[in-house]
């Protein structure tokens, strides 16, 4: 049994960790019950920008788990916050590929969103933001390409090339970014994991330090690498994308590797019994 030491907060991925698509992972309710019982604060930080924080709260409620809005941070939210510090929202036009989870945070911060084929002088976008879009179309890709080629800054909410679902692993936002990059000749700036931006924002929300906060995720190339780049410890669960075989092909590593959140729950509760002063 693996144990933990000096953990005071968690940054937890969702897809592949808490669920596959609409199918909850076994032990989901018990995992959150343990976090509440141990008084461990957490932020659910996901690269998936397809839903809003409120929609994720609703999704978890449908699975029998209650979380609050401030406990959710999506890459869409992280992107909007990041851009609001670089640009004046009320003077900045954005074309978005993505669902409400990518669009609403930008609107909330005062950005103006442009529509299909609003391109050219005076009508085009200053920024193109691409997130996971389940209604992706030729027209959306064309509008994004035209804006980027006209000089709009190209931003990706995340670079995940794949997405675990209840039907298996399918394409993620990184596949959309790749298409736009090939069409425009411009590489995107990535906001989500493995870049440290979303982890740094989560740490600010938690009010904890790097030494006592750990990240839990299912992807080595995003969740774990992002934690390494941020300077925090990490835990890989094998219930999503990455496997133990993948560990042999990287030059970094998670602090812990566990099968799923059921094993994480067991380790958390056992560690609390052994060293109650550290949790």
Q: Which residues are annotated as a binding site for substrate?
A: 193
Residues 6, 13, 260, 277: which is the catalytic one? Answer: 13
Q: Give every CB contact of residue 99 below 8 A, 6+ residues apart in sequence.
A: 49, 50, 51, 131, 132, 133, 134, 135
What residues are designated binding site for Mg(2+)? 13, 15, 218
Q: Taking a C-beta distance cutoff of 8 angstroms, is the pair 239, 5 a contact? A: no
Separation CA 145–CA 125 (nearest Å): 11
- Establish whether 126 is a catalytic residue: no
Distances (CA, A) of 165 to 19, 21, 22, 23, 29: 8, 4, 8, 8, 20
- Establish whether 15 is a catalytic residue: yes
Residues 6, 15, 160, 209: which is the catalytic one? Answer: 15
What residues are designated binding site? 13, 15, 193, 218
Active site residues per annotation: 13, 15
């Amino acid at each position: 049994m693996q144990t933990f030491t000096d953990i005071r907060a968690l940054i937890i991925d969702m897809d592949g960790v808490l669920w596959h698509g609409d199918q909850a992972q076994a032990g989901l309710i018990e995992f959150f019950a343990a976090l509440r019982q141990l008084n461990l604060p957490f932020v659910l930080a996901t690269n998936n920008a397809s839903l809003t924080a409120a929609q994720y709260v609703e999704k978890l409620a449908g699975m029998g788990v209650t979380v609050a809005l401030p406990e959710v941070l999506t890459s869409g939210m992280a992107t909007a916050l990041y851009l609001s510090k670089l640009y004046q929202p009320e003077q900045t036009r954005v074309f978005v590929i993505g669902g409400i989870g990518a669009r609403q945070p930008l609107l909330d911060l005062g950005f103006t969103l442009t529509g299909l084929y609003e391109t050219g002088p005076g009508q085009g976008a200053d920024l193109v933001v691409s997130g996971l879009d389940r209604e992706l179309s030729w027209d959306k890709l064309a509008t994004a390409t035209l804006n980027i080629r006209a000089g709009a800054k190209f931003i990706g909410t995340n670079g995940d090339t794949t997405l675990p679902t209840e039907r298996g692993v399918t394409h993620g936002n990184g596949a959309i970014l790749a298409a736009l990059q090939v069409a425009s000749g411009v590489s995107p700036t990535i906001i989500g994991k493995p870049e440290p931006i979303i982890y740094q924002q989560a740490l600010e929300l938690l009010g904890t330090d790097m030494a006592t906060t750990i990240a839990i995720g299912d992807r080595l190339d995003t969740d774990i690498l992002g934690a390494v780049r941020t300077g925090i410890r990490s835990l890989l669960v094998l219930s999503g994308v990455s496997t133990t075989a993948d560990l042999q092909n990287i030059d970094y590593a998670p602090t812990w590797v566990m099968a799923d959140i059921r094993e994480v729950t067991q380790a958390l509760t056992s560690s609390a019994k052994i060293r109650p002063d550290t949790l």
